[in-house]
Structure formats: C-alpha cells, structure tokens
C-alpha cells in the first residue's frame, strides 16, 4: 500500500544519489584543470592572455558596428513612425458628414457600430474644440449631429436628450447613458427589529448567496451579486428579516433621521420600504402615519408592515394636497413626490420615449402643491423635529431645485445639511435661472457616479407656523371692489359662504345712491302687530342688508352706509376674496336690483303708513 502522504505537511527532501555523484565529478574536474594550468610555461601563459585580449577587442569593435547600424535603422524607423503617425492623424481627424450622407442614413439601414464610433469622435472634438474642430464649422453643428446620433443609438426622444445635455457635460452624458443600459445591483435592507446584519449575511451565505456589505455609509444594507435561490422567496424573507430595497431609497430616511417617540408622516408611502425603515430606526416607538393617494398601492404597504413586524404605524388614504385639512402637527415629514422617473431608466426603459415637456410641467406643478402641504403638516414648535425631507427619483431641475426654491419663497422654511457624506451638490443656477444659494446643501445622486438610481434629496427646517403673505399674494385679487362710475364693477358680488360679506353702497342704474343718513327709516323698528293697509298687496321692506319683498318679489338690498364706512369695509373684505369666488352677474340679473324710483316709492309708502297710524 505504501505510506500515506499528508497533503497539509510538506517535507523538503535533499539531492538524490545521481545528483551527488554528478556534483562530485564536477568538483574533481575543476581541480584537475587548475593543476594543469599551474604546469604551463610563462610563454604559454602570455600567449593565452594575448589571445584573450584580441578576442575581447574584436567583440568591442563588432558591438560598435552593430550600434551604428542600430542607430541608423532606429532613425529610419522613427522617420517611418512619424510619417505613419501623421497619416493616422489625418485619417483619425473627424469630419462632419454632409447633408447627403445624413439623408442616406435616414433611408438605408443604420450601422450602430459606425454611429457609436462617430459619437466617440464627436465627443472628442467637442472636448477639445479649439484644436480639433473642422475649419468653418460651428459648435452647434457638432451638437446637432451628436443629439441625432445619441437619440438613434440609445433610443431616447429628442426632448430628453436636450434636457440631459443641459444638465451634464458632453463626456459625462455618455457615461450617464451607458450606466442606464446596465441594471443596478440588487440590494436588501436588514430589518433590525428581528435580526442583525451579521446573522442575516451568514444565513444567506449558507443558502448559496454571494453578498457583500453595501458600503460604509449604510449599517443595514447588503448587496447581492448572485444567488442560487430566489432572494424574494427565502425563509428569511418570508420571516421579515430583510426587505428588497434600492440603495437610493435608504438616503431620504437617513437624511430625515426620525427619533424615538416622535410623530412622523410619510406622505407617499407605497410600497412601504421607507415607512418600515423609519419604524426600525424609531424601534417601534412613537407614531408613523403612512399615507398614499392610491388605495391599490396601499395593499403592499399593509403586507410589508405585517411581514416586518412594524407596530407603530397607521395607514390612511388621502390626497396629499388636502392632508393638512385632515391632521397636522407632525415632528417630521417625508415626501417622496411622484416624478418623471428619469433617474430609474435602467428599471423602466419606457421613460426614454414616453416623457415630454407637458409631463414635466404637470408633475412640477403637482410637486409644488405637495411640498406646500407637507410643510403645512410640520409643527415648527416641535422640540426635537420640525423637519421635512423632499426627494424624487428624477434628475430634472424642474422637479427638484425649482420646487424647493418655490417652497423657500412661499413658506417659513430653510435648507439644512442632509447628513449624507457623499453625493453631488444641487444646482444654484441652471441656464437663465438663479436659485437660492442654500440649494447647494441638497444632494444629487447619479447611476454613473454612485452606482445607484438617480435621486435628489433636500432637507428643510420649518422655523415658523405662520404662512407668509407676500406682496404678490396681497394684490392677487383679480376682480377688485366696485368703484363709482364703473359699469362693469358696479355689479353685485356673489357672497362667499363662511367668509365676511362685502358691504357695498346702494346703487341705482349703475350710479352710487346718495346717503340717506338720519332720514332713513328702519322698518325693523315697527311692531309685529302693525301691518300696512291699502288697496295694494302687503309690501314688507327690510333695509339692513336682508331681503326686500316688493309686489311679491324677493329682492336683495344693499346696506345704506356712509361713503367712508363703505370704502373701509371694501378694503377689509378684499383680503378674503379669491379668484373663483367672485362671479359677475349678467345685465339682466343686474336689473333685478332695487332702482332709485322703487327705493323712493318704498320710502314714501312707509312714511304714509306711519302718518296714517
């Protein structure tokens, strides 16, 4: 059988029998030759030395000749290389295709390799435009060709390419487009309410999952490289030990940093990743209100909350714009606003062609309404909070910096540090627009820079619960108070329910009626038992702003007041007026009001009744 070899232990062995014999023979031969040289005569020794010297001199001369030949050939090679390089430079010089070539490309099949190479050359020229541009060509010509090629090669519409060129430099834009063609790595978030990241990682490794920690910035994230089992169906997943969540979704919760015992609102909570992350940071204390406008999407929130063992959350289904009317006074609010999704193109490639200018403007308007509602839901007097985090999965300036800058003007809020150590600063200037300087405190994240979905995060601190009234809002009333001599403005304003009514001067035929003063008789002072007599029907008048019944017709009368009092009330009433609340009456309706003649008749009638009694 032979002896067993232990592969873990290695024993170094010495030379064998044959090698020892060979070594001994070489030693003896060296001794023999040395002894022979000692027996040589002095003349023989000198002859040997001379021969060695001649051989050495001959080798040196040969080396010199070879060096000369090499120098000559090297010079020739350098000349050839220079000429070849010059020819290559001439060949590599990018030349803009003519109109005919572009027209042919529109008809014939497109070679994507040719377009890709042309994009590279075009970007190189634009990066070193002063030295590599073609004579007589302008930068706009290169840019127009680049836009066309990018739209063709990466399958984007022209609108989106224009927007991206406004945000990124040309070289960085290529990196962004290439990153959108690659899926982001799968990441999971450890649920610290049930387990620790170390234990979860070991359990998943035992199931054949190859994973690593997400990064130094996250203590609960793990990135999955490959797995022999489905990540969304392991026993650990079903037990609620972790949740599948993108790395960029960690950021807004980390920026908000909810504390134990606080009251927190997640205004757009579906599918529940951020809500459950806040719950584990709060250790199931305090209260989390998870709201979403879509009742169908709230089903996923309910499922994730039950699976992950969250017990401090309540779920509601309201439009976020109306939420301050439902409840308020929150310590912290998280608003992950609906957006165009230009940061998650790798997940939803349909965004490349489905978005246009109208979509961006519509979403930006919705986001402005939502951020004002979110700010109104925050309690500025909270001892530990008063913070709002606004985030989107879009990289458009119209949906990010523009919205936050609008909120800074409309509410008593200021931007503060997000607490995130990485990410690029937000824009303080974009094209012709200039934003608030503090917007550099916001953070932008890109797929080509941070290997996560495109994201925007801004953290605001509310320092007063009062809503500022700007000069624009004070003069915002379109239909001002009625004035003398104006036919259109003399028409009666429709009263707004729940708001103080605007008093007006008594008018007749579009002109202001004279103030009656002391001579005016108030019929409300008449006794109930006293009734008017005569052949005509009973006529009851009420002069204190109520209804007037004349000949069986109900009519509205204006309060008779002095000119100074009326002007004062008009000014006070204009504060509460809104655009849609004031509706002008048609000319036919305006004729129904009490005219000057009817007013005089009614006054005479009342005097006769008093005299007759």
Indicate the annotated binding residues for S-adenosyl-L-methionine: 268-274, 292, 319, 336
**Pair of tokens at residue 185:** 């790595």
Strands (E), 449-589: 455-462, 507-508, 511-512, 547-550, 553-556
CA 559 vs CA 504, 506, 516, 599: distances in Å: 7, 7, 11, 13
User: Is residue 391 annotated as part of the catalytic site, yes or no?
Assistant: no
Q: Rounded CA gap, 216 and 210, in Å?
A: 19
Q: Contact, 267 vs 389, CB < 8 A?
A: no
Q: Contact, 289 vs 265, CB < 8 A?
A: yes
Q: Rounded CA gap, 248 and 338, in Å?
A: 15
What is the DSSP secondary-structure string of 245-277?
A: --GGGHHHHHHH---TT-EEEESS-TTSHHHHH
What is the DSSP secondary-structure string of 347-406?
A: T-TTHHHH--HHHHHHHHHHHHHHHHHHHHHB-TT-SS--EEEEEES---GGGTHHHHHH
Q: Contact, 443 vs 457, CB < 8 A?
A: yes
Give, rounded to a whole angstrom, the gap between the first and last alpha carbons of the chain.
147
Q: Which residues of 12-39 are buried (b: 16+ CB within 10 A; e: fewer)?
A: eeeeeeeeeeeeeeeeeeeeeeeeeeee
Among 316, 339, 391, 393, the one annotated catalytic: 393
The 8-class DSSP code of residue 185 comes to P
Q: Contact, 477 vs 574, CB < 8 A?
A: yes
| Cis check: omega of the bond before 462, within 30 degrees of 0 | no
Q: Contact, 558 vs 507, CB < 8 A?
A: yes
Closest to 474 measured CA to CA, from 583, 578, 369, 368: 578
* Catalytic center residues: 393
């Amino acid at each position: 059988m032979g002896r067993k070899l232990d592969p873990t232990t290695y024993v170094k062995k010495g030379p064998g029998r044959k090698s020892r014999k060979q070594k001994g023979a070489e030693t003896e031969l060296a001794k023999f030759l040395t002894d022979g040289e000692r027996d040589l005569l002095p003349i023989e020794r000198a002859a040997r030395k001379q021969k060695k010297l001649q051989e050495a001199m001959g080798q040196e001369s040969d080396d010199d000749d070879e060096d000369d030949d090499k120098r000559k050939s090297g010079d020739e090679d350098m000349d050839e290389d220079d000429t070849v390089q010059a020819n290559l430079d001439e060949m590599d010089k990018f030349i803009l295709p003519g109109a005919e070539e572009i027209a042919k490309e529109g008809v014939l099949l497109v070679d994507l390799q040719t377009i890709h190479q042309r994009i590279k050359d075009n970007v190189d020229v634009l990066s070193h435009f002063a030295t590599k541009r073609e004579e007589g060509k302008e930068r706009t010509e290169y840019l127009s060709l680049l836009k066309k090629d990018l739209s063709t090669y990466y399958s984007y519409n022209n609108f989106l390419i224009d927007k991206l060129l406004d945000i990124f430099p040309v070289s960085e834009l290529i990196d962004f487009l290439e990153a959108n063609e690659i899926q982001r790595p799968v990441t999971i978030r450890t649920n610290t309410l049930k387990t620790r990241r170390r234990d979860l990682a070991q359990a998943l490794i035992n199931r054949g999952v190859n994973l690593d920690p997400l990064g130094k910035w996250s203590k609960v994230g793990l990135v999955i490289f490959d797995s022999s089992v489905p990540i969304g169906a392991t026993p650990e997943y079903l037990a609620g030990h972790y949740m599948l969540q993108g790395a960029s979704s960690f950021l807004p919760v980390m920026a908000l940093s909810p504390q134990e015992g606080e009251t927190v609102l997640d205004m757009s909570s579906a599918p529940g990743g951020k809500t459950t992350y806040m719950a584990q940071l709060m250790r199931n204390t305090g209260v989390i209100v998870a709201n979403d406008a879509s009742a169908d999407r709230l089903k996923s929130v309910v499922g994730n909350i039950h699976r992950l063992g969250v017990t401090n959350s309540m779920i509601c289904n309201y439009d976020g714009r109306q939420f301050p009317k439902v409840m308020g006074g929150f310590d912290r609010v998280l608003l992950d606003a609906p957006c165009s999704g230009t940061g998650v193109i790798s997940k939803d490639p349909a965004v490349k062609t489905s978005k246009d200018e109208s979509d961006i403007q519509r979403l930006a308007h919705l986001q402005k309404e939502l951020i004002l509602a979110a700010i109104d839901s925050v309690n500025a007097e909270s001892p530990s909070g008063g913070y709002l985090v606004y985030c989107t999965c879009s990289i458009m300036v119209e949906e990010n910096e523009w919205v936050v800058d609008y909120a800074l003007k409309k509410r008593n809020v200021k931007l503060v540090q997000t607490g995130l150590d990485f990410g690029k600063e937000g824009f303080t200037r974009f094209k012709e627009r200039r934003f608030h300087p503090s917007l550099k405190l916001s953070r932008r994240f890109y797929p080509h820079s941070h290997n996560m979905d495109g994201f925007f995060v801004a953290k605001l601190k509310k320092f007063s619960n009062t809503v500022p009234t700007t000069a624009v809002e004070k003069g915002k009333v379109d239909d001002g108070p009625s004035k003398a001599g104006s036919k259109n403005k003399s028409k009666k304003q429709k009263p707004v329910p729940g708001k103080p009514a605007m008093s007006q001067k008594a008018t007749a035929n579009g002109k202001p009626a004279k103030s009656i003063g002391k001579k005016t008789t108030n019929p409300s002072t008449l006794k109930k038992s006293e009734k008017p007599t005569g052949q005509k029907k009973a006529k009851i008048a009420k002069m204190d702003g109520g209804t007037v019944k004349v000949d069986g017709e109900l009519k509205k009368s204006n309060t008779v007041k002095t000119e100074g009092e009326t002007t004062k009330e008009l000014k006070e009433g204009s504060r509460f007026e809104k655009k849609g609340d004031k509706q002008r009456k048609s000319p036919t309706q305006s004729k129904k009001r009490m005219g000057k003649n009817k007013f005089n008749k009614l006054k005479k009638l009342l005097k006769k009744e008093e005299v007759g009694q």
